[in-house]
Amino acid sequence: MNSKNDVLDNGPFFHGTKADLKIGDLLKPQHLSNYQDKKSNYIYFTATLDTAKWGAELAGSKLKERIYIVEPLGDFENDPNLTDKRFHGNPTRSYRSKSPLKIIAELGSWERHSDKEINHMLTSLKRLQEEGKNIIYD
């Protein structure tokens, strides 16, 4: 975990989801994951819009895709599911925290990935799941 003197990233930070939230709401761990059928021990977020778009587009729900600008209210760490496992370093600037994230704004409009890109990602994730390799260390 980072300390107050060891800032991993200054943001801004984003959270992509299909949940309908309001400014001031807190995103907290111990809610159902967007990607697995279980409660998550962490809340995940990113400092890149592209990664937030994937979060919104791939979230398992039929609701509207949303990207929120969030403020971490406590310490956070690099997301070990991406950092040095799928990508060298942390190019997606992906993080997780056991502390809440405060919703400070919602992006009103943003450009989705193409249907072709989304379908390719979904196919890749399905293949990883079938191979037992789509594991989220939470």
* Structural domain count, the chain: 1
pLDDT of 19-74, one tens digit each?
A: 899 999 999 987 655 555 667 789 999 999 999 999 899 887 788 999 999 999 99
Within a domain: 83: yes
Within a domain: 138: no
Within a domain: 78: yes
Residue of 104 and 5 predicted with greater confidence: 104
HEC profile of 53-114: HHHHHHCCCCCCCEEEEEEECCCCEECCCCECCCECCCCCCEEEECCCEEEEEECCCCCCCC
At 3, which amino acid appears? S
Whether residue 5 is predicted with pLDDT greater than 50 in this model: the reply is no
For residue 105, what are its two tokens? 């704004």
Within a domain: 108: yes
Within a domain: 3: no
Q: Is pTM, for the whole model, over 0.85?
A: no
pLDDT of 108-133, one tens digit each?
A: 899 999 999 999 988 887 887 787 76
Within a domain: 76: yes
Confidence bin at 103 (pLDDT 50/70/90): very high
Q: What value does the mean pLDDT take over residues 91-112?
A: 93
Q: What is the pLDDT of residue 110?
A: 93
Within a domain: 4: no
Question: What is the domain-level CATH number for residue 118?
Answer: 3.20.170.40
Whether residue 3 is predicted with pLDDT greater than 50 in this model: the reply is no
Within a domain: 46: yes
Q: Which domain holds residue 22?
A: 13-130
